[in-house]
Amino acid sequence: MRPWMPFELIAALRFLREGRTQSVLIVVGVGVGVAVIVFMSALLSGLQSNLVRRTLSSQAHVVLLPPEEVARPQGDPARAALHLQRQAQRLRSIDQWQPLRDRLQTWPEIAAVSPVASGPAFAIRGDANKAVTLLGIDPERYDRVIPLAGRLNAGELRVGSGEAVIGIELARELGAGVGDKLRLTTAAGAAETLTVSGLFDLGNKGVNARNVYVGLRTAQTLLDLAGGVSSIDLALHDLDRAEEVARRIAAGTGLTADSWIRTNAQFVTALTSQRVSSNVIRFFIALSVAFGIASVLVVSVIQRRREIGILRAMGATQAQMRRIFLLQGAIVGLLGSLLGSALAWSFLAGWRLLARDGAGSPLFAIDVEPALVGIAAGGAGLVGILAAVLPARRAARLDPVEAIRG
Partner 1 sequence: MADPVLRLAGIRKTYGRGETASEVLHGIDLRLEPGEFAALIGPSGSGKSTLLNLIGLLDRPSAGQLSIGGEATGGLDDAGLTRLRGRHIGFVFQHHHLIPAFSARENVALPLLVARGRPDAAMFARADALLERVGLADRRHQPADRLSGGQQQRVAIARALAMQPALVLADEPTGNLDTRSADAVFGLLREVNREAGTSFLIVTHDPRLARRCDRIVELVDGRIVADAPNRPD
Binding site for partner 1 (CB under 8 A): 1-7, 10, 14-15, 17-18, 306-307, 309-320, 399-401, 404-406
Q: Least distance from C-beta 295 to partner 1, angstroms?
A: 21
Pairing of strands 163-167, 191-200: parallel
Q: Which is nearer to partner 1, 130 or 394 (CB)?
A: 394
Q: Which is nearer to partner 1, 191 or 401 (CB)?
A: 401
Q: Which is nearer to partner 1, 151 or 312 (CB)?
A: 312
Q: Which is nearer to partner 1, 108 or 315 (CB)?
A: 315
Q: Which is nearer to partner 1, 273 or 317 (CB)?
A: 317
**Spatial CA neighbour of 31 closest among 353, 269, 335, 253:** 335
**Spatial CA neighbour of 15 closest among 304, 389, 382:** 304
**Spatial CA neighbour of 170 closest among 211, 198, 122:** 211
Q: Least distance from C-beta 268 to partner 1, angstroms?
A: 54
The CA distances from residue 305 to 94, 205, 311, 391, in Å, are 79, 71, 10, 12
Q: Least distance from C-beta 398 to partner 1, angstroms?
A: 11
The CA distances from residue 347 to 243, 327, 366, 374, in Å, are 36, 30, 11, 18
Q: Which is nearer to partner 1, 87 or 303 (CB)?
A: 303
Q: Least distance from C-beta 297 to partner 1, angstroms?
A: 16
Question: DSSP letters along 221-287, please?
Answer: HHTT-TT--SEEEEEES-GGGHHHHHHHHHHHH--EEEEHHHHTHHHHHHHHHHHHHHHHHHHHHHH
Q: Least distance from C-beta 55 to partner 1, angstroms?
A: 57
Q: Least distance from C-beta 350 to partner 1, angstroms?
A: 39
